[in-house]
């Protein structure tokens, strides 16, 4: 299903990735995703210099994020990369530093590409994290992350059907869960299901896996056994990727 929220394509498409020990994490997956988006949006190829640019900007950064922007420039595309340090408390955050979700209806969602034009997202004025809902209350994604709910030993997460970003940390989490024998159901997820879940957690390429503490001011479940298991393995995988 296509998004109703049309971004300005002149601003380009971006990727944000984790940097650990001077190395970009999951670089191949990030480059593949943005290359597919650029082909679909502009019918153009990702410049061949993008990977080297990312590696160069990552050097010397122990824990950080790198944003790769790809912008239309004349008949081609231009790459920019900006790296910055990350506060360690948001890297695989504990419950104290978990997200406080605030629901926002956004018909059709943000779509499956990371457009630089994020004007459809509400301004974060109170430190909360927007949780995007489609019409009728269907959960899509958080402003910067994919959403999972745990119930009775299995996981629920919205399907990647063009309305949400096919997150790289999301895919890794599903893969790790499958290897651990944890069932993951991809499909419709409603707000009320989050409120009744054993736990709700978010996945993102920089923060990893972290809990959601509340939804519209209501405390969420805190049985974090599944997320802790998944986070431990994902953190181990990423830490060994350099």
Domain stops at, among 86, 121, 151? 86
CA-wise closest residue to 24 among 70, 58, 68: 58
What's the token pair of residue 5? Answer: 């929220």
Count of CB atoms situated within 10 Å of the CB of 141: 26
**pLDDT confidence of residue 6:** 79
pLDDT tens digits along 155-172:
999 999 999 999 999 999
30 located within any domain: yes
Same domain? 193 vs 234:
yes
Same domain? 55 vs 129:
no
pLDDT at 3 over 50: no
pLDDT tens digits along 56-66:
999 999 999 99
Is the model's pTM score more than 0.85?
yes
Number of DSSP helices (H) and strands (E) in the chain, helices first: 5, 13
1 located within any domain: no
Number of domains in the chain: 2
What average pLDDT score do residues 95-106 get?
A: 96
CA-wise closest residue to 213 among 202, 225, 226, 229: 202
**pLDDT confidence of residue 2:** 42
**pLDDT confidence of residue 195:** 98
E strand spans, 12-124: 13-20, 23-24, 63-73, 76-85, 99-105
Average pLDDT score over the chain: 95
| Band of residue 74 on the pLDDT scale cut at 50, 70, 90 | confident
Same domain? 112 vs 209:
yes
Same domain? 121 vs 69:
no
Domain stops at, among 47, 62, 86? 86
Provide the residue range defining the domain that includes 222: 90-239
- Under 8 Å between Cβ of 202 and 145: yes
188 located within any domain: yes
The torsion region of residue 137 among left (phi > 0), alpha (psi -120 to 50) and beta comes to: left
Same domain? 105 vs 214:
yes
Same domain? 138 vs 78:
no
Distance CA 23, CA 60 (A): 9
202 located within any domain: yes
What CATH number is given to the structural domain containing 56? 3.30.470.10
Same domain? 24 vs 137:
no
pLDDT at 118 over 70: yes
pLDDT at 4 over 60: no
What average pLDDT score do residues 28-46 get?
A: 97
| Band of residue 1 on the pLDDT scale cut at 50, 70, 90 | very low
């Amino acid at each position: 299903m296509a998004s109703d929220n049309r971004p300005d394509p002149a601003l380009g498409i971006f990727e944000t990735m984790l940097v650990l020990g001077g190395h970009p994490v999951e670089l191949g997956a990030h480059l593949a995703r943005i290359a597919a988006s650029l082909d679909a949006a502009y019918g153009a190829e990702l410049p061949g210099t993008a990977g080297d640019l990312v590696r160069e900007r990552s050097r010397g950064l122990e824990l950080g994020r790198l944003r790769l922007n790809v912008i239309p420039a004349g008949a081609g595309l231009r790459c920019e990369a900006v790296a910055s340090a990350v506060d360690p408390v948001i890297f695989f955050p504990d419950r104290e530093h978990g997200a406080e979700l605030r629901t926002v209806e956004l018909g059709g969602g943000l779509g499956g590409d990371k457009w630089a034009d994020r004007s459809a997202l509400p301004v974060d004025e109170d430190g909360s994290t927007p949780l995007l809902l489609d019409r009728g209350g269907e959960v899509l994604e958080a402003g910067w992350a994919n959403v999972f709910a745990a119930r009775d030993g299995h996981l629920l997460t919205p399907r990647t059907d063009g309305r949400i970003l096919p997150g790289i940390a999301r895919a890794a989490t599903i893969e790790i869960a499958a290897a651990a024998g944890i069932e993951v159901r991809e499909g419709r997820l409603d707000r009320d299901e989050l409120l009744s879940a054993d736990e709700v957690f978010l996945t993102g390429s920089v923060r990893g896996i972290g809990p959601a503490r509340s939804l519209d001011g209501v405390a969420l479940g805190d049985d974090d056994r599944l997320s802790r298991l998944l986070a431990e393995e994902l953190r181990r995988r990423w830490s060994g990727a350099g």
